[in-house]
Amino acid sequence: TQLLEQSPQFLSIQEGENLTVYCNSSSVFSSLQWYRQEPGEGPVLLVTVVTGGEVKKLKRLTFQFGDARKDSSLHITAAQPGDTGLYLCAGMKDSSYKLIFGSGTRLLVRP
């Protein structure tokens, strides 16, 4: 059973389009992170959100943490081929040392 569900699993869009990736759970997390992973590499942290309702922007990427701290979204504006990759959300519960990862969204941005 996946504690963190990501949708969609796959997304293929044209350069310049906007997209949103969702990360949902029935559990509350103390913080939530988004990672991006390229083929042959390990995941690289993009952002950490901690407060319910928090919105963080990283250039064309906007991250939001749900008010109840159970869900999060990643919105990319004017996607570029360089955004292609696997996007993973990961949640931390309370004082655990452990991150729980979602199943990932594989994004392909076509030129």
Partner 1 sequence: NAGVTQTPKFQVLKTGQSMTLQCAQDMNHNSMYWYRQDPGMGLRLIYYSASEGTTDKGEVPNGYNVSRLNKREFSLRLESAAPSQTSVYFCASKLGGLAKNIQYFGAGTRLSVL
Interatomic CA distance for residues 25 and 4, integer angstroms? 5
Q: Binding of partner 1 at residue 27 (CB under 8 A)?
A: no
Report d(CA 53, CA 41) in Å as an integer: 31
Contact status: 62 vs partner 1 (CB under 8 A): no
Alpha carbon distance 19, 11 (integer Å): 9
Collapsing DSSP to helix, strand or coil, 62 comes out as strand
- What minimum distance in Å lies between the beta carbon of 104 and partner 1? 5
| Per-position x/- string for 76-95, each x denoting binding to partner 1 as judged by CB under 8 A, each - no binding | ------------x-x-x--x
Q: Extract the tokens encoding 20.
A: 């949103």
Q: Which of 25, 33, 64, 72 binds partner 1 (CB under 8 A)?
A: 33
The distance of closest approach from Cβ of residue 48 to partner 1 in the complex, given in angstroms and rounded to an integer, is: 7
